[in-house]
Chains A and B, each alone.
Chain A
Amino acid sequence: MLLWTVTTMLLRVESVDVFYGVIQALHGVTLEVDKGEIVTLIGANGAGKTTTLWTISGLLRPTRGRILFDGRDITHLPPHERVALGIAQVPEGRRVFLNLTVMENLQLGAYLRKDRDGIQRDLDWVFRIFPRLAERKDQLAGTLSGGEQQMLAIGRALLAAPKLLLMDEPSLGLSPVLVQEIFRVIRTIRERGVTILLVEQNAHMALRVADRGYVLETGRIVLSGQASELLANEAVRKAYLGE
């Protein structure tokens, strides 16, 4: 059992503390993501969800604890080396490069890759999932609608050929139609073998797509389990599902 865990574990965040100046944002956060899983991290605003993702990507450094990825300690690696290892992120608020074209954004997604064929293959795939990006590939990203920018942000991250995709609130501010579309895409991405750690405000949708989930409150993991268990959990229903 132990051996099995070791071989399938992709990411392990181990008792991580993170500070912003003197304010502690994460208190001993521990979480795991296995290969092929969709794991969701839910919690209120300011609970530390984005902080967790930024720490995994290396934008923030933990003062305590460590981060293991694919059996390697990556706690002290700079962000670009983590991308090279296979951790890509779709950041909150999309953050596409507004003054660059759609195509340039996607090219930058593959910034560290040298395999031209692989890049072309992934590009074709992204255009298959999001045909609208193909139509607009020479447009500046700033002229896209909110939904299209979200697609571009996802496409850009996919072009890094990630093993692990971190997604921060991909449904934020989208119309219900587009939210459903994005969640369909999340399933498609998983089918291609990409592991996903999903942060969502929309706990309802997130728990329905995920295998497992963690609940974060004021920087601490307070609950974890199978997604179906969390959906049934009384406290979760009350605080995050609004029932």
Chain B
Amino acid sequence: MDVTQALQLLMLGIALGGIYALIALGYSMVYGVLRLINFAHGDLIMVGAFLGYFVAKAPIAEGLPLPLRFALVFASAMLGCAMLGVLIERCAYRPIRHQPRLTALITAIGVSLFLEYGGQIVFGATPRQDLPLWLTEQNPLMQIFAVQITDKHLLVLGGTFTLLALMRFLVLNTLFGKAMRAIAQDMTAAYLVGINVNRVIALTFALGSSLAAASGVMLAMSYPKIDPLMGLMPGIKAFVAAVLGGIGDLPGAVLGGFVLGLAETVVGYFASGLRDAVAFTILILILLLKPTGLLGKGMVEKV
């Protein structure tokens, strides 16, 4: 393998990592507030991808200039998933908010199964490959040291970092973000200072779900095939990325996403069969060596 190939591989890894990072960001938002592993997050990716697909194929979108079409696809997928996320929270998660974590986890698995099998009925089980080819032609925009950087790469990276910056600002600097952190810390006390807890949580779900939708559309553009089960593995892997970076820590989630994307691409290059084991091996290593994650801060258990 020469230097060019290596760099090309690196670029591939970063592109994949960017998508993981985006999914992990959404995961972390929800986990940060509710301490809930939202298994359905992965399936929201799938729903987002399908929504984007249908909008892109709709006659209205066909007539628009490309940037507008683009914006329309992303906006509608994100809005649709935001609404679905709020609905899921309202119907499935809110009633069990004060139940043990295990109950919440099982419910999340139930929601995930529901979306997957429901998706098979609504969208059909056979994968769709006739995606509008806007970005998949890999047309290189520029070339740095013989590494081709395509518009897809730019979109994924630009989108990921813009959204990270936005979310970080929201969580750290706005009153809404303070309310989110307050709820994560002590929900009862949050009620007592007058925070409308239900609304903040619903909005958090809306945000997390729209991030899932955005990553779903990007995933669909990068790997031009979508099907109702497509979200399961990226979802679980993004959770691994979030744990790797330090769950609940937003820059950590993004870092974890990139590390995972790179590791998977590199291992996949040398031994494609082992690709799917990479994420879990990393997960187990990190849990054993540094359970708080790369950027997470340790918390002392109260006795």
Contact = CB atoms under 8 A, between A and B. Distances in A.
Q: Do A and B come from one complex?
A: yes
Contacts of B192: 57, 59, 79, 83, 88-89, 91, 95, 157
Contacts of B179: 108, 111
- Considering residues B175, B194, B196, B197, which has the most beta carbons from chain A within 10 angstroms of its beta carbon? B194
A85 to B, nearest CB: 10
A80 to B, nearest CB: 5
B182 interface: yes
Interface stretch (B15-23, B52-60, B183-191, B285-293): B183-191
Interface stretch (A6-14, A29-37, A97-105, A124-132): A97-105
Interface string A53-87: 00001110000000000000000001110011000
A112 B194 contact: yes
A83 B197 CA distance: 13
Interface in A9-52: none
Nearest to A89: B192
Contacts, number: 66
Contacts of A84: 194
B178 interface: yes
Interface in B156-203: 175, 178-179, 181-182, 185-186, 188-198
B193 A160 contact: yes
Contacts of A59: 188, 191-192
A109 interface: yes
Nearest to A156: B193
Contacts of B190: 108
A207 interface: no
Contacts of A57: 191-192
Given A97-B181, A99-B181, A111 B188 contact: no
A111 B193 contact: yes
Interface residues of B, number: 18
A80 B201 CA distance: 14
B185 A99 contact: yes
Given A100-B181, A100-B182, A108 B188 contact: no
A96 interface: yes
A100 B185 contact: yes
A78 B188 contact: no
Contacts of B189: 91, 95-97
A212 B149 CA distance: 76
Interface in B190-243: 190-198
B194 A95 contact: no
A104 to B, nearest CB: 5
Nearest to A112: B194
Contacts of B175: 107-108, 111
Contacts of B191: 57-59, 79-80
A36 B194 CA distance: 23
A80 B195 contact: yes
Contacts of A109: 193
Given A95-B188, A99-B185, A83 B178 contact: no
Contact of B186 (A89, A95, A160): A95
A160 to B, nearest CB: 6
Contact of B195 (A99, A100, A104, A111): A111
Contacts of B181: 97, 99-100
A108 B182 CA distance: 8
A156 B186 CA distance: 14
Contacts of A156: 193
Interface string B80-115: 000000000000000000000000000000000000
A99 B193 CA distance: 16
A211 to B, nearest CB: 25
- Considering residues A58, A88, A98, A99, which has the most beta carbons from chain B within 10 angstroms of its beta carbon? A99
B194 A111 contact: yes
Nearest to B186: A95
Question: Which 5 A-B residue pairs are closest in the complex by CB-CB distance?
Answer: A83-B194, A95-B189, A79-B191, A112-B194, A80-B196
Interface of A: 57-59, 78-80, 83-84, 88-89, 91, 95-100, 104, 107-109, 111-112, 156-157, 160
Interface of B: 175, 178-179, 181-182, 185-186, 188-198
16 contacts: A57-B192, A80-B191, A80-B197, A83-B193, A84-B194, A91-B189, A95-B188, A96-B189, A100-B181, A104-B178, A107-B175, A111-B193, A111-B194, A111-B195, A112-B194, A157-B192
